Structure formats: structure tokens, C-alpha cells
Amino acid sequence: MSQIEAFKHAQPVPDDIAVSTRNICKTYGSVEALKDMTLEFPRGQLTSLLGPSGCGKTTLLKIIAGLLPPTSGEVTVNGKPVTGPGPDRAFVFQDFALLPWASVLRNVAFGLELRGVARSEREDIAARYIREVGLGGFEQAYPHELSGGMRQRVGLARALSVDAQVLLMDEPFSAVDEQTRRKFQEDLLSLVQNENKTFIFVTHSIEEAVYVSDQIAILLPRPSRVSEIIRPTGFRQKSADSIRRDPEYLDIVDDIWASLRSYVE
Amino acid sequence: MVYRPLFLKLLSALILFGAWEIAGRIPVSYAFPTFLDSVAALWRMIIDGSLFVAYAETLKPLVTGVAISTVLGIALGIWIGLSRVFDWLFSPIFVVMQSAPLAALIPLLVMAYGIGLTSKVFVVCIMAMPVIVLNTAGAVRHTPENIKAMCRSFMGTRIDMLFKIIIPAASPLIFSGLRLGISAGFIGAILSELKITPTGVGDIITFSRSIADYPSMYAAIFSIIVLAVLFLNLLERTEKHLFKGNDRGYVSD
Amino acid sequence: MKLFGINLPAMSSLILWGLLWEVVGQAELTFFVPPLSEVVRTLVTIIGTPSFLSALGETAYAFGMGVFFSILIGVPTGILMGRSRLLDELLLPWVNVFLSAPLTALVPVLMVLFGFGMKSIIITTALFAIWIIILNARTGVRQINRSLVEMARSFGASPLEAFFKVYLWAALPEILGGIRIGIIRAVKGVIIGQLLISIAGFGALFELYSTNFMMAHFWAVLLVLFALAFSISEFLAYLERKVAYYAAVR
Ligand SMILES: Nc1ncnc2c1ncn2[C@@H]1O[C@H](COP(=O)(O)OP(=O)(O)O)[C@@H](O)[C@H]1O
Ligand SMILES: [Mg+2]
């Protein structure tokens, strides 16, 4: 625990906050999914929500997205309160949520289509992001012709192409095989560096959270609460392939496991 | 709020029967009696027993036909499902029968077997049998390979395989085929009573129409629909009860 | 099935049955079954005749109209039921009742209400088809992946856009499946209607040929009708398989 304390204060909390949630409560009937959840998400950084399944990660993310109304409390994005989905946020779905009847190009352009962008313009933008996520040449393919990893790249390209400032990702790599997932994690690191966007990333994998995050919020169930905020900083500047051997990385992974293990049945 | 489904069911029945009553009072047509008149006519037929006499007549071809279709259909279906030769030989016939308007055969059946019970039983059988055969055959053919392999690995005989693995595994689908077959059998039974010779409920319908006693006509129709729906619902309940937790998630129509 | 190492196509046994038919006919076992070759010869002679063409036209018209109305009314009703819980709870019991009710019993009602003509036949056809179309459209809408709905919302789709760009397409495989079964039922409904209501279309031909003991003619028309019904159902099954890939990724 003492080590975590040390990391926590290794760097001051940035004061440029893109998204913040204040005293969010959410109950489903008699189930209390979130209780008094207060969190801040610094701009241009990746914050993970990490916790065992059922602790309310998806619920929190959907409340931030405006897809679910909170029972009480408030979410603000750039200081403005959230009342519903908006162009400042884009969602990446765990199960991709692609239109099976539409080509990759139309799927990626779909967010822009719904925003009323003219066809030629949105297809230009979509084509650019398709290449960016490494799917060049698959523009006319259909989702059922792609592997799971490629489908999630389509979902990612769709979220990037609407150029939202905040990307909300709900376990985006959990339906993807292990090797592809590692590649995704590396790509995600460079994405965070290159795009000046705020990422909110839900995962239940400790290694994944420590590997990709600037800030990790550990959520605990029953009652749902934030147990700690960890800011792994020491290895952020290192190259993607040496992080996993970094002693600080390994220590944080161990410490998080030590604090979570009692909550796993 | 706990009773919401029941409440809404009653409400929707009230709306429909209310609309019927109002439409009958306007009246939308001289041949459209009110709901209450029809219920009164039904009550009269129940009291004087004519409805039961009629059903005794109607159920004869229906029950005989359904019984024959069930026994023959399931036996044939199992056979077709087990043997590739029989599958090749017989499946196409039932596939064609399933999609064909078999009612067209009625004039021929009447010529061949007259206007008696035989023709009517035949009509019920040709309507009910295809779906029973096809569902049974499909279910038997698609018995999960892994439980068949399990049976073999524990030294089960072919008889064991058939009676302890294949038939139990197929029974939910066989049962739902039976339900569809019986539903088609009802259609066939009424069709034959209206088309071949008016007997039983078909007689009440035809006769009361000819003397313009519309409440009785509607009452008879109402009663046969209620009977069919109640019986099929009962079967569905039984099915759900018998095969609880046996949903394997593939269906056939 | 395999014979001498050759894979026999699925429906090829019908050839064998055709041969059997020919043999039974040639042997003159029964007056009711003339040889297949005679039936086919008769078929060739009657297929261009005005009486056959008008029967075909009348049947196709009643069938087409019945199917048209059942789709036009059935699909939107089913979609609305899938979207609205109140509507669903009010209508579903009745849809289920009419799905399993012996609809032939309703035909006399149609006759007294709508007369002995085309109108009643069309309504009979539609009554046979519509319930399964409603039920399948409802199922299709209800099983749409939640995250697809949320995706549309999160990118700011209006309700109308979400309906036409997402719901309708996502429910398409089930809707098509319902339409296929509905159309197969409509074929049966139109013939039942023609036999019971007025002696029109193919129903008239069957009556005519059987009362005049023209067995070859009777079988010829039956053959055409069965072949048409079977082709329609196979064609629709083919269409449905084309959208089957949906289900895997939905
Ligand atoms: N639509 C819902 N209705 C009722 N309970 C729900 C619903 N969605 C989630 N829950 C409950 O809320 C809790 C948190 O769920 P969720 O946010 O999906 O957790 P996570 O994503 O961390 O696994 C769980 O206990 C879950 O059962
Ligand atoms: Mg979740």
C-alpha cells in the first residue's frame, strides 16, 4: 500500500479537467449500481476505470455518455452539464455495435452521416481514419468478413472520425484475442500521445490498465466506490515494448491485485 | 402493478368485445350481430345440448386424423431422421406437401372416398402430417453429436441410443411439431365440414347462415376458435412444463 | 445421399416418384391416377388456354393483394408492438389467438360480410398470412442488439433516423422470415378461399375437372400449383439465407 501512496503523489493532479462526475448515484430498482461517485478526468490523458465485474464501470461510462440518466449527481464535460449524448463524446462498444448490412466505409462514416455531413466529405474523412487504424483496403468489406480485432478497429475508426474530444471505451479489447489485444494496447498508447483527446477506458484487466493509463481509478463493488486513484508515471516515457519489464509496472500490478483480491469471489 | 399483464389482457378483451358489441349495434352490416346476442346464442346452444352433439360429430374426424398423423408422422419422421436413404426418398414429398396448398386435393378425395368420414379424416391427415414428419426428422437428424458420442463411449447399444438419447433429445421439437400439426388439423377439420358435407359445427355454421340466424353462426365460429386456442394453449403449457430448461435454441417452422 | 459414390442432389428422389407415378398410371390401377406422361401432355395443351390463364391471373391477383396488405399492415404493427410495451401487451394475446385459430371457420363470416367475390378471397388470404408476419417483425425488433440502439443514440440519431437506418435493417432477417412463412400460408389461404367462397380461379378449375372426371386435367393444374408454391417458398428461403450473415455479427 505504501508504494501506491508514493505513486499517487509522484505527480500533481493536473488542473485541466475535461470530464468530471460529481456525486453520481444510480439505482436500478433496488440495486444500487453507483453510489456517490466523484471522479475527475484530466484532458489529453487516458483514465482507466478498473474493477471486478458488476462494480458499475459500464453504468458510469454510459452515464458520462448521456445514454443513461443518473439517479442523482451531475456529469460535466468542459464545464457544461451532460443531459444526453453530444458531439463532444464518442463511444467505443465492447461488442463493436457495427451495422452488419453496411460496408466498413459506411460504418465508419455512420457517426458523420447521423450528423448530416455530406456524403463525399464524410467518406473522405472515414477513408482517412480507416487507413489510420490500419484497415486500408477493407473499405468495401462487410463486418462479417472481418476478424474480431478488425471489427473493433472499425468501431475505433468510427469513434475517431467524428472528432469528439472525449473517447469513451467500454472494455474495447475484451472480445479480441490476446495477441491482437497487445497490438491494440500499443496502438492506443500512440493514439493518446498523438491525438489531443481525453480517453476514458473501462477494463477489468489489471495489466492492461497499468500498461495504458495515465490515471487508474479502482472501483470496488458493494457498495460501489472509488477505492484509490493511481497515477503510474515512472515508465510513461519508455518505449512500448519495455514497459512490461519495468519494475515499477510490475509493482503496481502486484499492488492492485493485492488490494482487489479480497473482492473477487 | 403486479397484476398489470392480467389487467391488460382483460382490458384488451374488453376493447375487442366492446368494439364488436358497438359494431353490432350500429349495425355495420345486417349480418353482424352484437357480441351479447352471440353469447346468448352460444348459451342457448350449450343449454339445449346441440353444441355438444355438434362437437361429438366434429371431433370424430379431427381426433381420428390427428391420432393417425401423430403415430404415423412421428414413426416416419424418426425413420427419415435416422436413415439417409429414407431421408433422400421421403423428405422431398413432405417438403413439397408442407409448402403446397393441399386443400386443392379435396375435390379429388371426395371423388375417391365419397363424402363420408373417410374423406374428412384424410383432409385432417394431409394437413397435419407434413409438419409433424418434418419436425421429427429434423430433430432426430440434429441430435447433438457429442451426446451421441458420449452414449457410444459408455458402451450404449443402438437401442439405448435410440430410446435414451435420440428420442429424448428430439422430443421438444417433436412436441412442437405436434402442436403445429394439430393446429393445421383443426383447419382441415373445419374446412372439410364446410366444403365436403356440413356436419357438426360446420353444420351449425352453414345452417344458421342459410336461415340468417347470424348470432348462432357467430357463436359456433366463436366456440370452435375458443376450443382450438384453449387446447393448443394447454399443449403449449404442457410442453413448457415437460421440457423446462431444454431450450436448445433451434427452431423450425 | 450417395449412390455408387455419386452425390445425389437433395430433391432428386422426386424423379423416382415421378417414375412410380407413371408405372401406377400405365398399369391402370386406379381411375384417379392417370400416367404422369399423360398429365404432362395435358399440361402442355391447357397451359396457354384462356381459361387456365384467367384462373392463374385471378389467383395471382387475390394472392398478390392479400400478401401486399398483410405485409403493409403486418410489418409496421409488429415493429410498433416490439417498441411499445403497452401496445404489445394489448395486441399480443390476439395475435397469438389468430395465429393458432382455425381460420377456415372465419371464412363464412367474411362471406356474409363482404360477399362471395374477390374481396372475401383477398381478406382470407391476408388473414392466413398476417399473424406470423406481425409476430416475426415483433421478435425482430425485440432482439435488436442493445448496443446498436445505444450506438445510434450516442451519435445523436433522431428517433426517425434510428428507425429507418437501424431498427428496420436490424430486424430484417426476422421480418423476411415472417414474410416467407406468411406467403406460404397465403398460398394455402387463397386456395381455401377459392374453394369455400366462390368457385373462382384455380378452385373453379379443380371443381370443373373433378365433376367432369377429367383426371389428367385435374392433376396437371395441381402440378402447376404445387410447383409454383414450392418455387415461391424456395425462392424466399434463398433470399432469407442471403441476409443470414446478419445474425452472426449482430
Ligand atoms: N439495466 C439494468 N437493470 C438492472 N440492473 C442492472 C442493469 N445494468 C446493470 N445492472 C446492475 O448494476 C451493477 C453494475 O453493472 P455494470 O455497470 O454493468 O458493471 P460492470 O460494467 O462493472 O461489470 C451490476 O450489479 C448489474 O447487475
Ligand atoms: Mg461492463
Fold of domain A19-88+166-265: Rossmann fold (3.40.50)
- Sign of the CA dihedral with B173 first, then B176, B181, and B182 last: positive
**Tens-digit pLDDT profile for residues B202-231:** 999 999 999 999 999 999 999 999 999 999
**B24 lies in a domain?**
no
- The pLDDT score that the predictor gives to residue A265 is 67
Query: Which chains pack against A, by 3+ Cβ pairs within 8 A?
Result: C
CA of B163 to the centre of ligand 1 (A): 44
Question: Which residues lie below 8 Å from residue C34, measured CB to CB, with a gap of 6+?
Answer: C25, C215, C216, C219
- Is 80 exceeded by the pLDDT of residue C248? no
The arithmetic mean of pLDDT across residues B143-159, rounded, is 83
**B22 lies in a domain?**
no
Nearest to C155 among A142, A143, A162 (CB): A162
**Tens-digit pLDDT profile for residues B31-60:** 899 999 999 999 999 999 999 999 999 999
* Residue B237, all three cell numbers: 403449457
Contact list in C for residue B95 (CB cut-off 8 A) is 11, 230
| CA nearest to C78, candidates C99, C64, C57 | C99
| Alpha-carbon span C3 to A252, nearest angstrom | 68
User: What residue ranges do the domains of chain A occupy?
Assistant: 19-88+166-265, 97-163
**B171 lies in a domain?**
yes
Type of residue found at A260: L
Nearest to B103 among C177, C191, C211 (CB): C191
Question: Ligand 1, atom 21: nearest CA belongs to which residue?
Answer: A58
Contact list in C for residue A67 (CB cut-off 8 A) is 150, 153-154
Nearest to C147 among A90, A97, A151 (CB): A97
Residue of chain C whose Cα is closest to the Cα of A85: C154
| Alpha-carbon span C133 to C177, nearest angstrom | 8
Residue B65 C-alpha, separation from nearest chain C C-alpha, in angstroms: 15
The Cβ of residue C165 has, within 10 Å, a number of other Cβ atoms equal to 18
Contacts across the A-C interface (CB distance below 8 Å): 65
Which residue has cell 455408387?
Answer: C4
Task: Looking at the CA of A50, name the nearest ligand.
Answer: 1
**B172 lies in a domain?**
yes
Q: C230–B31: do the CB atoms touch at under 8 Å? A: no
Q: What is the CATH number of the domain that holds B74?
A: 1.10.3720.10
**Tens-digit pLDDT profile for residues B68-84:** 999 999 999 999 999 98
Question: Is the Cβ–Cβ distance between A61 and A219 less than 8 Å?
Answer: no
Question: Is the Cβ–Cβ distance between C76 and C139 less than 8 Å?
Answer: no
Q: C107–B194: do the CB atoms touch at under 8 Å? A: yes
Q: B107–C207: do the CB atoms touch at under 8 Å? A: yes
CA of A1 to the centre of ligand 1 (A): 29
Report the nearest atom of ligand 1 relative to the CA of A51: 22
Type of residue found at C75: V
Question: Is the Cβ–Cβ distance between A253 and A209 less than 8 Å?
Answer: no
- The pLDDT score that the predictor gives to residue B145 is 84
Strand order in the sheet with A17-28: A31-42, A17-28, A72-77, A80-81
How far is residue C167 from each of residues A101, B47, C95, measured CA to CA in Å?
12, 52, 22
ipTM greater than cut 0.95: no
Q: Does C118 touch chain B (CB under 8 A)?
A: no
Chain B interface test: which of C85, C113, C188, C224 (most B C-beta within 10 Å):
C188
Report the nearest atom of ligand 1 relative to the CA of A59: 17
Question: Is the Cβ–Cβ distance between B221 and B42 less than 8 Å?
Answer: no
Q: Which domain holds residue B158?
A: 36-242
* DSSP structure string for C141-207: HHTS-HHHHHHHHHTT--HHHHIIIIIHHHTHHHHHHHHHHHHHHHHHHHHHHHHHT-S-HHHHHHH
The two beta strands, A17-28 and A89-92, are unpaired
**B199 lies in a domain?**
yes
- The pLDDT score that the predictor gives to residue B245 is 58
Contact list in B for residue C190 (CB cut-off 8 A) is 101
**B104 lies in a domain?**
yes
| Alpha-carbon span B242 to B234, nearest angstrom | 12
Nearest to C169 among A101, A142, A144 (CB): A101
| Tens of pLDDT, residue by residue, chain A (265 residues) | 444 444 444 455 567 899 999 999 999 888 888 888 999 999 999 999 998 888 889 999 999 999 999 999 999 999 999 998 999 999 999 989 999 889 999 999 999 999 889 999 999 999 999 999 999 999 999 998 898 889 999 999 999 999 999 999 999 988 888 888 998 999 999 899 888 899 999 998 999 999 999 999 999 887 778 888 989 887 777 777 788 888 888 899 999 998 888 877 6
* Residue A74, all three cell numbers: 451531475
The mean pLDDT value of chain B amounts to 89
**Tens-digit pLDDT profile for residues C111-138:** 999 988 899 999 999 999 999 999 999 9
Q: B225–C86: do the CB atoms touch at under 8 Å? A: no
Q: Does C15 touch chain B (CB under 8 A)?
A: no
Nearest to C155 among A100, A110, A144 (CB): A110
Question: Is the Cβ–Cβ distance between A138 and A130 less than 8 Å?
Answer: yes
- The pLDDT score that the predictor gives to residue A212 is 92
Task: Looking at the CA of A30, name the nearest ligand.
Answer: 1
> What's the structural domain count of chain B?
1
**B82 lies in a domain?**
yes
Question: Ligand 1, atom 7: nearest CA belongs to which residue?
Answer: A28
| Alpha-carbon span B70 to B177, nearest angstrom | 10
Q: Does A114 touch chain C (CB under 8 A)?
A: yes
- The pLDDT score that the predictor gives to residue B248 is 45
Q: Does A163 touch chain C (CB under 8 A)?
A: no
Position with higher pLDDT, A111 vs B149: A111
- DSSP letter at A54 equals T
- Is 80 exceeded by the pLDDT of residue B177? yes
CA of A54 to the centre of ligand 2 (A): 7
Question: Given pLDDT bands bounded at 50, 70 and 90, which one contains residue B94?
Answer: very high
**B186 lies in a domain?**
yes
CA of B191 to the centre of ligand 2 (A): 55
Long-range CB contact pairs, A61-66, < 8 A, 24+: A61/A91, A61/A168, A61/A170, A61/A200, A61/A202, A62/A170, A62/C150, A63/A21, A63/A24, A63/A26, A63/A34, A64/A19, A64/A21, A64/A89, A64/A166, A64/A168, A64/A200, A65/A89, A65/A91, A65/A168, A65/C150, A65/C154, A66/C154
| CA nearest to A93, candidates A171, A32, A191 | A171
Question: Given pLDDT bands bounded at 50, 70 and 90, which one contains residue C2?
Answer: low
Query: Which segments of chain C does DSSP mark as H helices, in order?
Result: 13-26, 36-46, 50-83, 85-100, 107-114, 118-142, 146-154, 159-162, 168-170, 172-196, 201-211, 215-242, 245-249
| Alpha-carbon span B24 to B43, nearest angstrom | 18
Question: Ligand 1, atom 12: nearest CA belongs to which residue?
Answer: A33
| Alpha-carbon span B39 to B17, nearest angstrom | 11
Residue C240 C-alpha, separation from nearest chain A C-alpha, in angstroms: 14
Mark A102-139 as b/e (b = at least 16 C-beta within 10 Å): bbbbbbbbbbbbbeebeeeebbebbbebbebbebeebb
How far is residue B202 from each of residues C86, C105, C141, C197, measured CA to CA in Å?
37, 8, 39, 14
Question: Is the Cβ–Cβ distance between B185 and C88 less than 8 Å?
Answer: no
**Tens-digit pLDDT profile for residues B5-29:** 888 888 999 999 999 999 989 888 8
- The pLDDT score that the predictor gives to residue C1 is 61
Beta bridge partners of B5: none
How far is residue A2 from each of residues A8, A9, B52, measured CA to CA in Å?
10, 11, 87
Separation of first and last alpha carbons in chain A: 22
Report the nearest atom of ligand 1 relative to the CA of A202: 21
**Tens-digit pLDDT profile for residues C8-26:** 787 888 899 999 999 998 9
Q: Does C7 touch chain A (CB under 8 A)?
A: no
- Global pTM reads 0.84
Mark B87-122 as b/e (b = at least 16 C-beta within 10 Å): bbbbbbebbbbbbbbbbbbbbbbbbbeeeebebbbb
- The pLDDT score that the predictor gives to residue C76 is 92
Contact list in B for residue C226 (CB cut-off 8 A) is 96, 100
| CA nearest to C91, candidates B227, B20, B9, B233 | B9
| Alpha-carbon span B22 to B16, nearest angstrom | 10
Q: How far is CA C67 from the centre of its chain?
A: 8
Q: What is the three-class DSSP state of C75?
A: helix
Domains delineated in chain C: 35-249 (1.10.3720.10)
